Amino acid sequence: MLEVRNVSAAYGTALVLKNINIRVGSNEIVSLIGANGAGKTTTLRVISGMLKPIGGEVMLEGRNIAGMEPFQIASLGLVHVPEGRGLFPEMTVMENLEMGAYLRKDKDGIRRDLEFVYSLFPVLKEREKQLAGTLSGGEQQMLAIAKGLMGAPKLLLLDEPSLGLSPVMVDRIFDAISQINRERGVPILIAEQNAYMALSASHRAYVIENGSTVMEGIGKELLGNDHVRRAYLGI
Amino acid sequence: MQPTLFIEQTILGLMMGGIYAAVGVGLTMIFGVMRLSNFAHGEFYMLGAFLTYALVMALGGDPYLLAPLSAIAVGLVGIALNKLVFLSLYKELREAKGAAAFFFQDLRFIMLTIGLSILLVDLALVVWGPIPIAIPSVFTSHIVRLPGGLSFSLARIMAFIVATISLIVLYTFLKITKTGKAIRATSQNPSAAALVGINTYRIYDVTMFISTSLAALSGSILGPIYNVYPTMGLDVVAKAFVVVITGGMGNLMGSILAGFLIGLAESWGGLFFGTEYRQVVAFLIMILVLWFRPRGILGGRS
């Protein structure tokens, strides 16, 4: 589905990504774990076109998308739920969901997906007419994921879905992520600081350190890896 | 003071406020969507007035009927200039700083809009000359008399009606159409807008069209009331910035409210302190509002 090969990227003259290699197969949940500033968010930004890489390839379904504009990449079915959740704060919950489906023309499909996200997050239906900026942090995260799903993603990128949420809410969000993958067969790439949650929920994972992918493995195996346990799980 | 005079000035102030609102809304949209302070905004107002004059001379007919035509033409000029002057800079800035670049902080954009303003004023000087021109309209000489001794020129009433209709149409467009929603989305979160698949460069074109054609429409409908001359935009752009800042930068409803407030304040200021104080009152209102609400009446983008 997605293959990131030897990608490097910079903000101005500061090299932030040196050598990133990631593969996401169809129907997989893959997570990127690593410390703050290691390059997780930047990696997602490069994949969705928000930042142009200075080297390497980003292959989506066999096609190199590196250097394309974000709206062009979005039209290929890649949906990125960015850092800060990417909501439109002065629009209603319903309008945000509509915007998520901006590129779609299949009215029936949109209606079905709306029902699916409302069944996934019933609170969003209750808050349908409320402005997104007035929702709680947990509700905003639900809306962010729901808005991403409304784009009928072939691949979903989630940046820090657990950020700023209570432990109960983190559980609910990760349950929903698993359910989306299971029921919809959507492959998902998650950048996450909460290594324990991310590794438990993923099939496979990559460890990013100083802008390079340094380790790769089965999610549950990495949970038992000594380096990962010491550096990211605090055990 | 005669109550009739007071009521008349109040209504005139509100009618003028409708036009300030239209000019201000155009300017605030550019700021909200593109994060761009367009110092050439007044020149689109001027171009609209001159183009309407040219149309009236060429085709005959009334400026109030030809104003929409001139507004569309100036809107297309706006799109062309946007592509020609600003597009490469948007792309450069986006690549350097990521999708959410803040253009208004970039000196190049400020200088480009100031340069554009000078260029368009000089162009008008070459084409139409420096002498103020009056656009002939049948509505100017019609006086509407209301009970209680109130009277207004039909041209002013027409100008107010056209401004109000254009604001209602714009509001509805932004509220219900897909493109309108995409404009609001781009204004609220530009990078998220690009991520849902909105071509934000196209949204900039549409916004530029709306903004410049609103300015042109306003110039056209005031053309028969005041004179038309190359530097007419320079007075208006100062007023438009007062409206935009008072209402909250980038806030549409704020600009509409502020437009009426400034129109009313000017009218009352002229009535109570003498017409030479009209301009002062507008700036005084802005300073007062910013004392208590530094982000404007309804708050704006930081």
Non-local (6+) Cβ contacts of A13 within 8 A are none
Residue B134 DSSP symbol:
P
Non-local (6+) Cβ contacts of A142 within 8 A are A120, A121, A123, A124, A173, A176
Q: List the one residue out of A150, A93, A169, A98 whose CA is nearest residue A125.
A: A93
Q: List the one residue out of A56, A11, A28 whose CA is nearest residue A155.
A: A28
User: What pLDDT is stored for residue B97 in this prediction?
Assistant: 62
Domains of chain B from N-terminus onward? 3-292 (1.10.3470)
Task: List chain A residues with pLDDT less than 70.
Answer: 234-235
Candidate from B181, B189, B200 with C-beta closest to A98: B181
Non-local (6+) Cβ contacts of A158 within 8 A are A81, A145, A148, A177, A188, A189, A190, A191, A192
Q: List the one residue out of A220, A151, A204 whose CA is nearest residue A180.
A: A151
Pull the structure tokens for residue B267.
């009218």
**DSSP code string of A54-92:** SEEEEEETTEE-TT--HHHHHTTTEEEE-TTTT--TTSB
Whether residues B191 and A89 touch (CB distance < 8 A) is answered with: no
CA distance B210 to chain A (A): 21
Q: Is B176 on the interface with A (CB under 8 A)?
A: no
CA distance B225 to chain A (A): 39
Pull the structure tokens for residue A13.
């003259």
User: What pLDDT is stored for residue A235 in this prediction?
Assistant: 63
Q: What is the dihedral of CA B280, B282, B283, B284, to 10 degrees?
A: 80
Whether residues B189 and A69 touch (CB distance < 8 A) is answered with: no
- A29 pairs with which residues across the strands? A188
Whether residues A102 and B200 touch (CB distance < 8 A) is answered with: no
Whole-angstrom Cα Rg for chain B? 19
Q: What 3-state class would DSSP assign to A32?
A: strand
Helix residue spans in chain A (DSSP H): 40-48, 70-74, 93-100, 107-120, 122-126, 137-149, 167-184, 195-201, 219-224, 226-232
User: What pLDDT is stored for residue B132 in this prediction?
Assistant: 94
Neighbours of B291 (CB within 10 A): 8
Q: How far apart are CA B34 and CA A19, in angstroms?
A: 34
Pull the structure tokens for residue A228.
């990962």
Q: List the one residue out of B272, B285, B231, B293 whose CA is nearest residue B20.
A: B285
Non-local (6+) Cβ contacts of A156 within 8 A are A79, A81, A148, A149, A180, A186, A187, A188, A189
Q: How far apart are CA B210 and CA A89, in angstroms?
A: 23
pTM: predicted TM-score of the whole model, two decimal places: 0.92
Q: How far apart are CA B193 and CA B177, in angstroms?
A: 16
Whether residues A50 and B96 touch (CB distance < 8 A) is answered with: no
Class of domain A2-77+153-232: alpha beta
pLDDT digits (tens, 9 = 90+) for B68-106: 999 999 999 999 999 998 888 888 777 766 545 555 567
What is the block-wise mean pLDDT of chain B (302 residues), using blocks of 10 residues? Answer: 86 93 95 91 97 94 92 97 88 66 70 94 95 89 84 90 95 96 94 94 96 96 92 92 93 94 92 85 91 88 60
Backbone angles phi, psi at A192, to 5 degrees: -150, 130
Q: Is B203 on the interface with A (CB under 8 A)?
A: no
User: What pLDDT is stored for residue B106 in this prediction?
Assistant: 75
Whether residues B191 and A86 touch (CB distance < 8 A) is answered with: yes
- B228 pairs with which residues across the strands? B133
User: What pLDDT is stored for residue A103 in this prediction?
Assistant: 96
User: What pLDDT is stored for residue A13 in this prediction?
Assistant: 83
Q: List the one residue out of B250, B238, B235 whose CA is nearest residue B286.
A: B238
pLDDT digits (tens, 9 = 90+) for A15-35: 999 999 999 999 999 999 998
User: What pLDDT is stored for residue B96 in this prediction?
Assistant: 67
User: What pLDDT is stored for residue A174 in this prediction?
Assistant: 93
Q: Where are the domains of chain A?
A: 2-77+153-232, 87-151
Whether residues B196 and A100 touch (CB distance < 8 A) is answered with: yes
Q: List the one residue out of B200, B186, B194, B212 whose CA is nearest residue B32.
A: B186
Instruction: Calculate the alpha carbon distances from A33 to A22, A37, B1, B292 in Å.
Output: 12, 11, 75, 47
